[in-house]
Amino acid sequence: MAIPVKLQAFEGPLDLLLHLIDINKIDIYDIPIVTITDQYLEYVRDMGEADMNVTSEFMVMAATLLDIKCKMLLPPEKDEEGNDVDPRDELVEKLLEYKTYKYMSYALSEREKDASFNYYRERRLPKEVQEFVPPIDYDELIGTKTLLTLQNIYQDVLQRADDRVDPIRSKFGNIEKEAIDMGSKVLFVKAYLIHNPKTDFRSLLEEQKSKEEIIVTFLIMLELMKTGVIHIEQDETFGRINVSVIDTEKLKNMSIGEFTGEAERDEEQNIQETQEPLLNDGGTDGT
């Protein structure tokens, strides 16, 4: 029995089943599963090359129908109370639920038609309302700030302005922090190590004065270790740091440039870093 319907007419397998039940004038609670399954399968076969997604959904239902058909042939299962379980029950529930929503969608559609005859309005605030600026509550605005607060701020501002550009001091030209001469420091370390091929870090530092000098010496030692000129050993934490020259030739041939190139760049970075907070301070007016 051919079913003269098109795929597009159905929202899905449940829709098709409802249609079959309808045209066959079947009691939904007593679906003749054999007839319906045959008709359903015939329809799915006719679908042929339709959209694979849709087809697969129809195939799942076909499988379900066949499953029910098989169960109908077997002795009925019993539930907890010993009653026969109809293998069609689940399908019937699904069909009824689907039918309900399908019906509701028609009801909604009617509501939509009625509601579409209403016009709403766009927001249109009067200019005066849009441009309204609330009166200022000065007690709240000023809060606990006093004249003294203002005065202190003013002095701070002046002090900062003074620190930034001193109109008088600036006439003497730039006063810059004396940079450590990387080159001479390298020469010093080199000479020291040639004379003392086995020494320790502390002895090397004895003649260093400032923190900066110590840091630079430490950096030079790290570089020498990295290039395999010296070997460094420490037996325990905070213990003596033993330094031994392992490649005297390399040490002698070491040029200052290998260090100063790095050093100059380091210096530049240091300067930038110290200036940054100032720049931030002088950034754009915000908040």
Partner 1 sequence: MELKQAMAATEAILFAMGDSVEISDLSKALEMGDDDTGRVIAALENKYDSEDSGIRIVRLDKAVQLTTKTELYDYLIKIASAPQKPKLTDTVLETLSIIAYKQPVTKAEIEVIRGVNSDFSVDRLITYGLIQELGRKDAPGRPILFGTTEQFLRSFGVKSIADLPAPGEEKLEEFKTQAEEEADSKLGI
* Nearer residue to partner 1 within complex by CB, 153 or 222: 153
* Nearer residue to partner 1 within complex by CB, 58 or 259: 58
Determine if 61 is a binding residue for partner 1 (CB under 8 A). yes
What is the distance between the alpha carbons of residues 62 and 98, in angstroms, rounded to a whole number?
17
Window 67-106: residues binding partner 1 (CB under 8 A) = 94, 96-106
Residue 144: CB minimum distance to partner 1, A: 11
Q: Which of 4, 75, 126, 277 binds partner 1 (CB under 8 A)?
A: 126
Question: What are the angstrom distances between the C-alpha of 145 and each of 4, 16, 150, 154, 170?
Answer: 88, 78, 8, 13, 35
Structure tokens at 89: 């029950």
Q: What letters, b where the CB count within 10 A reaches 16 and e where it falls short, cover 35-74?
A: ebbebbeebbeebeeeeeebeeebeebbebbeebbebeee
Determine if 227 is a binding residue for partner 1 (CB under 8 A). no
CB 54 within 8 A of CB 65: no
Determine if 145 is a binding residue for partner 1 (CB under 8 A). yes
Window 14-53: residues binding partner 1 (CB under 8 A) = 14-15, 27-30, 53
Q: Provide the total of helices (H) and of strands (E) in the chain, helices listed first.
A: 12, 5
Determine if 149 is a binding residue for partner 1 (CB under 8 A). yes
Cα dihedral value 53, 56, 58, 62, nearest 10: 180
What is the distance between the alpha carbons of residues 221 and 163, in angstroms, rounded to a whole number?
38
* Nearer residue to partner 1 within complex by CB, 124 or 209: 124
Question: Which range, of 65-73, 119-127, 183-191, 264-272, touches partner 1 by CB under 8 A?
Answer: 119-127
Residue 173: CB minimum distance to partner 1, A: 12
* Nearer residue to partner 1 within complex by CB, 131 or 235: 131
Question: Which range, of 165-173, 189-197, 207-215, 245-253, touches partner 1 by CB under 8 A?
Answer: 165-173
Residue 19: CB minimum distance to partner 1, A: 13
Instruction: Calculate Rg over the CA atoms of the chain.
Output: 46
* Nearer residue to partner 1 within complex by CB, 11 or 268: 11
Determine if 116 is a binding residue for partner 1 (CB under 8 A). yes
Question: Which range, of 151-159, 186-194, 205-213, 262-270, touches partner 1 by CB under 8 A?
Answer: 151-159
What number of chain residues touch partner 1 (CB under 8 A)? Answer: 84
Determine if 257 is a binding residue for partner 1 (CB under 8 A). no
Look-up of token digits 């907890």: 80
What is the distance between the alpha carbons of residues 34 and 70, in angstroms, rounded to a whole number?
10
For residue 82, give the DSSP letter.
S
